[in-house]
Structure 1
């Protein structure tokens, strides 16, 4: 069950408030965007307007990356390329204990939605925390570079166990692989067996898409 402290931080994210007590780059970047942009609580609506906002946020982030030394290079080894998911290129980490994910935030209407989602993931699933390393830009497209622990699967995932685990944390299965936490106002989408890994009887959520939503 989510702790009171975690629930409080999640409520702050949904409410568009900063998390000033956190010092990691992901939270700091989210806080930076929060200072100038409001958090959306509608999912996948008004794409035309949001596309303009997303471009504006990208320019903010480029400037932020320059001022805070968050442009990264030399992290991606083509020989360690693993796969391309729906929104990310995945590389095996040079440390052999992590994966590097290069994410273009295509699943999100704005960059603030993306950083909200990553920050929520880190609070709800700390065993698979994303470490935000910085940005790259390829062909004019801004991409976030994230590092995550590499979890070896040793058993098939039973989606009933996933539903039970999420229910324990307040998430109700609303349709197929989508879940909603009504108390916090958070939607978790597309949790299928490829986005969850089983290791030694424990479930590890490695790919999540969170949205903040209206009640």
Structure 2
């Protein structure tokens, strides 16, 4: 499970539903194009249809669900062109995140980044690619938290979730290697050494590589 911002800060039930549905979509328990039945989900979570509808509206806004008038609500399809546009939009945001994290990260943030970069390397070495995706997401969530800018963090999460789902769905054709583990380690080290320019440069290259990968497909 990835971390989640408090989109419903005063409603634990809605946050529980949002986090569950979001992760089911991101990690493909709910497949692209699959119909979402509001009443059945409300019963499953033990809530009325009103909070369920509010959560689904947020997921639609985030691009994870789509409403088809007269047909219902469906898990959004994966579109390569849209994913590329999202990566292009993310590039300057992720660079800003790394730069600010190097300036503002707490000791706890730095400890977590270093730990997650080591964990990511172990999963890559072991070929545990689903865990690679999850750990990578946690690393970047932690980096965004360390940046100390809530608007930037919310915008980044919205875009990152679209890319995360694409990555998870293409694990059969793409296997991350040691270079990616090394990039995460270098970002974590740059943050720990308070090197904003270096952290930003490494992070920028990290995102650019995914754009290049999309162009190759």
Q: TM-score, normalised by structure 1?
A: 0.28
Larger relative contact order (Cα-Cα within 8 Å, sequence gap ≥ 6): 2
Q: Which structure has more helix as a fraction of its residues?
A: 2
Q: TM-score, normalised by structure 2?
A: 0.28
Q: Which structure has more strand as a fraction of its residues?
A: 1
